[in-house]
Amino acid sequence: MAVLRKKTSGKKTTRKTTARKKTTTAKKATTRKKTVRKYGPKASEKVERAMHEMHEGTLKSGGSGKAVTSRKQAVAIGLEEARESGAKVPRKKKS
């Protein structure tokens, strides 16, 4: 027995889904652990000042005295100054 199929125009029909209301159960009270800041506010001030000096062209590197052009180097100089002044800054990684 042959089954006759109706030709379609090539469009696939999709079934519309209705938005179902989710049932909520009682939520557990979770306590989040407060994260401790790695860097203190004094450290961010020193880095901000170093970045400002770099953009002005007045920030010099320690050894040769050349002008600093690298953003990473400016941040490193700012963090080092913050360490020297006693601000809360993590130790440098040992290589």
pLDDT given for residue 94 in this prediction = 87
DSSP-derived letter for residue 33 is P
Q: What is the pLDDT of residues 27-44, one digit of tens each?
A: 677 788 888 889 999 999
Here the tokens at position 73 are 């180097």
pLDDT given for residue 32 in this prediction = 81
Average pLDDT along the chain, 95 residues, taken 10 residues at a time: 66 67 69 86 95 95 91 94 92 84
CA dist 35 and 88 (Å) reads 15
Quote the crossing angle between the two packed helices 41-56 and 71-84, to the nearest 10°. Answer: 140
